[in-house]
Amino acid sequence: MIKYKQRCFKCKNNFVLVSGRDRFPLCYDCQKNELNQEIKNKKIKELFDIPEELYKENLFLRNIKIYYLRNNKLSEKQIEAFKKTVKKIKEEAK
pLDDT digits (tens, 9 = 90+) for 39-82: 999 999 999 999 999 998 888 899 999 999 999 999 999 999 99
The half-sphere exposure of 36 on its side-chain side, counting CA atoms within 13 A, is 7
Q: Is residue 5 domain-resident?
A: no
> Is the pLDDT assigned to residue 22 strictly greater than 80?
no
The total number of structural domains that make up the chain = 1
Q: Is residue 70 domain-resident?
A: yes
Q: Pseudo-torsion of CA 83, 46, 75, 31, nearest 10°?
A: -80
How large is the average pLDDT for residues 14-28?
82
Q: Is residue 22 domain-resident?
A: no
Domain span at residue 56 reads 27-93
Which of 1, 43, 42 has its CA nearest to residue 18?
1
Q: In whole numbers, what is the pLDDT of the chain averaged over residues?
A: 90
Whether this model's pTM surpasses 0.75 = yes
Q: Is residue 14 domain-resident?
A: no
The rounded distance, in Å, linking the Cα atoms of 58 and 41 is 23
> Is the pLDDT assigned to residue 1 strictly greater than 70?
no
Q: Is residue 49 domain-resident?
A: yes
Higher pLDDT, 21 or 28: 28
